[in-house]
Structure 1
Amino acid sequence: MRLSEDRGKPRIAVIVKGYPRLSETFIAQEILGLEQAGFTLEIWSLRHPTDSAKHPLNHQIQAAVNYLPEYLYQAPLRVAKGLFAAMRRPGFGRFCALAWRDLRRDPTPNRMRRIGQALVLARELNPQIAQLYVHFLHTPASVARYAAILRGNRFGFSAHAKDIWTTQDWEKREKIADAAWGVTCTRQGYDELRRLTPPDAPDRIRLVYHGLDLSRFPEPPVRATSTDGNQPKSPVRIVTVGRMVAKKGFSDLLQALAMLPEHLAWQMVHIGSGELKQSLQQEAEALGLSDRVEWRGAMAQSGVIAALRDADIFALACREGDGGDRDGLPNVLMEAATQELALLSTAYAGVPELINDGENGLLVSPADPAAFALALERLIRNPALRRSLGQNAHARVRNDFEFQSGITTISALLQMQGVRP
């Protein structure tokens, strides 16, 4: 093969659970950043997209997107071809031993799917792929790990939130041991993964905040300074953004809103969708909030930014979710800060790594709607406080959460494994 042709071949496979996803702008931002740094990528997704819209970021990404069979029965020929190809690979013996051990510990259809997807991935990956890089340490990392063992590749991972806190210790420990390197996006997550890292490899895990590409965000708008909840025709505008799942605390937020003084003038917009959509909307109606809460559903980032610019307060009541699930550091908090919004959230998960209470936002204890209501009322009544907190939040993101440093770190880790841009 001529050198010019060789340069055009993919060299890194990025494995994700679903692509594209409106809730995962941080992944799209990173993929685009790695492409701009000179890396050639191809994307492999365990699931097809479920969102009807796409972020502008996704349209800028050049990487080819490939989909593994979501359910093995839907693509039996691909799975069979993967199995026959795997039987001829030097890593097949270790793969079989590992897959059997994992199945005994986790005898679920989900585990079988990941093994089958790995067989397909190992066969269909371009031979020029030098390394696998996977987002999320739970099911996507299982597929990447099995495929890497079959192919004799190394893999690196980026761990985030649910994948850290809902995966069993034995699985996290073994994946970290097999990985070339791993990064995670909060200090809390970093400490958890370091606890399980081999003693002879203390630097295998790195703390890398997602940060934001600030060039994608407009300068903050000029907001009215007199809106204080006393003018019914000029209500204070609250916005919240996130998937409708338990860890986002939207039920706590609705209860807090219901505790506000009845005469206080406010309106709230929610952006996002998810499994709790119907129950949350029913709860809002039962609490008498239907005429004050607008449900906009999932939106592309341009729509999110427009809503942030039109608001006075950003509120997100993070808490522990189902099965110990929790957030990392929600990117939308940083996005709200780019527009100088006053931030109100909880002292939970990675949120305090961005917000210093009383300095660039307000924090209350998680799962405490009464405390959230008091802090929300304080912000509604005090436009000067909102302005001060918003300006400080904007400065904090600009000074400490610019995404290029994370791209530099991940680029260096990829190059340590011999992958050059």
Structure 2
Amino acid sequence: MGLQAASGSGHAPCPAHACQAETDRVTMVSSPSCPVATELKQVVAYLAPEIPSLSATFVYEELHAVERRGLRVVPISVHRPARPAADQARLSERVRVLYDTHPARFALGALLSLPRFGPGLFGALGQLAGDLVACGLLKPASWKLAYQFLAGARLARLMQDEGCHHLHVHFAHVPAQIAMYAAALSGLPFTVTAHANDIFERGLLLQRKAARAKRFLTISEHNLKYLRALGIPPAQLSLVRCGVSFSPRSRPAGAAGQPFVLGSLGRMVEKKGFDVLIETLARLRAEGRAVVLRLAGDGPLRPALEAQAAALGLGEAVRFDGSLSHEQVADWMNALDSFVLACKEDRNGDMDGIPVVLMEAMSQSLPVVSTRLSGIPELVMHEQSGLLAEPADAADLARQIARLIDSDALRAQLGRDGCQHVMAEFGMAQNIDRLLAAFALPRHG
């Protein structure tokens, strides 16, 4: 830790965590089908691209939180995860995978199952026909929709077999396309949580999905404004954040004279801005500041980032820690003086919404620095709950980080106020309340 952390004023505990843990605590009893609560009456299917994926911890964390509220959750994954979360073995055993067989066998099985849906089949086929015309009959997207209709048939069959009452979907692209046909076939209501590139880059039939859903949810005010601009009625939209439920811990005081430790975590792809952060580190060290950087995560750009660090002569000032399981993240963060995420828009227009890792860092009372992009300023409010720089601007990012390095008081204030803000608006308990209100499940018994 750096000299600035040694004063002990850099990381105040966040009192909001105590009530958070109490709110989420319920009595749980194992059962063969679902290790959750006794006398479960409502059954919700959860669909996402990959469950449990190491890069989408917010999906399975939310899923577990819903189960703690007494619902039974049936987890369904479009694909088998390429990088599964190692600490979610029990969840992995329960997950049903839609695309888990040869495409021809998959299609035949789905076609043979269609008669079981009776009148729902005609309505679903009518939706598909209208969607194919809207997309253009000769376009590849139309052929994919037809295949996703068959995936919807398989999903509908799974939900009927499990006695589901509701379907919730994470991501408004492929999973939502499958879900809307499954809902039409089965007669079940569905809700969607939209995130970022699933609406900005891959917003196929977005208005139709929103109209067919019971409720169309999204994670930021920025997204709500975008969706309203597309003509989706405000009454159909709701804000539900990706909740965070980390517990606070006291931080060890750093020894005097030690470097200031920055950390960043995420998939090593262009939109995360790791290249900008490495350039920023070089600038800070050129100013004579004793600062080092720890990068956690992996991805296609890692070799290029390692080469960049070497070319800038950073040597041991940059440490690549590799992928971390969710249970390792809090310990990793405990070794940092500040967390930085240099988000930017990539060359295809993809960008983050509100990265959950920023929420996790703030819940640990870490002062954070990020960029003015998408919904991030709703979480990291400049000079209130963190500091913001312009995207892809290493000079501005260096200036903001230097402010933290130079001020014990600023680090303490941002750590404390950031924690309070994230737990007040982005805490798991209140966002599960919002989610269940959107489900609007009828009471049984």
| TM > 0.5 | yes
CA contact (8 A) 2:353 2:375 kept: yes
CA distance in 1 between partners of 2:111 and 2:342 (Å): 46
The partner residue of 1:133 within 168, 172, 195 is 168
Q: Which runs of 5+ in 1 are unaligned?
A: none
CA contact (8 A) 1:248 1:318 kept: yes
- Tell me the equivalent position of 1:264: 289
SS at match of 1:321: coil
CA deviation vs aligned residue, 1:128-162 (integer Å, no higher than 9, x gap) = 22222110001111111122222232211011112
CA shift in 2, pair 1:115/1:286, >3 Å: farther
CA shift in 2, pair 1:277/1:420, >3 Å: farther
CA distance in 2 between partners of 1:157 and 1:258 (Å): 42
1:383-394 pair list within 5 angstroms: 383-394=408-419
CA shift in 2, pair 1:257/1:278, >3 Å: same
CA contact (8 A) 2:262 2:293 kept: yes
SS at match of 1:278: helix
CA distance in 2 between partners of 1:255 and 1:197 (Å): 41
CA shift in 2, pair 1:400/1:12, >3 Å: closer
Give the % identical residues: 31
CA contact (8 A) 1:95 1:150 kept: no
1:243 pairs with 2:267: yes
The amino acid across from 1:196 in the alignment is: L
1:107 pairs with 2:140: yes
SS at match of 1:252: helix
CA distance in 1 between partners of 2:440 and 2:95 (Å): 23
Q: Which runs of 5+ in 2 are unaligned?
A: 1-32, 34-38
1:304 pairs with 2:303: no
- Tell me the equivalent position of 1:26: 58
- Tell me the equivalent position of 2:17: none
- Tell me the equivalent position of 1:196: 230
The amino acid across from 1:237 in the alignment is: V
CA contact (8 A) 1:53 1:299 kept: no
CA contact (8 A) 1:355 1:363 kept: yes
The partner residue of 2:193 within 149, 153, 158 is 158
The worse-fitting range, judged by mean Cα deviation, of 153-162 and 397-406 is 397-406
Task: Considering Cα pairs closer than 8 Å and 6+ residues apart, tell me whether 1 or 2 has the greater RCO.
Answer: 2
SS at match of 1:219: coil
1:198 to partner: Cα distance = 4.5
CA contact (8 A) 1:10 1:126 kept: no
SS at match of 2:294: strand
- Tell me the equivalent position of 2:217: 183
TM-score normalised to structure 2 length: 0.82
CA shift in 2, pair 1:245/1:114, >3 Å: farther
1:83 to partner: Cα distance = 1.0
CA distance in 1 between partners of 2:358 and 2:78 (Å): 28
The worse-fitting range, judged by mean Cα deviation, of 385-394 and 16-25 is 385-394
The amino acid across from 1:275 in the alignment is: P
- Tell me the equivalent position of 1:80: 108
1:181 to partner: Cα distance = 0.6
Structural RMSD (CA): 2.6
CA distance in 1 between partners of 2:84 and 2:236 (Å): 38
SS at match of 1:238: strand
The amino acid across from 1:80 in the alignment is: L
1:25 to partner: Cα distance = 1.9
CA contact (8 A) 2:85 2:325 kept: yes
1:104 to partner: Cα distance = 2.5
CA deviation vs aligned residue, 1:362-408 (integer Å, no higher than 9, x gap) = 11111111111122223223333222221221222233332211111
CA distance in 2 between partners of 1:76 and 1:299 (Å): 37
TM-score normalised to structure 1 length: 0.87
1:329 pairs with 2:372: no
SS at match of 2:430: helix
CA shift in 2, pair 1:195/1:254, >3 Å: same
CA contact (8 A) 1:99 1:115 kept: no
CA distance in 2 between partners of 1:247 and 1:273 (Å): 14
CA shift in 2, pair 1:269/1:83, >3 Å: same
- Tell me the equivalent position of 1:69: 99
CA distance in 1 between partners of 2:264 and 2:380 (Å): 16
CA contact (8 A) 1:94 1:149 kept: no
The worse-fitting range, judged by mean Cα deviation, of 401-410 and 235-244 is 401-410
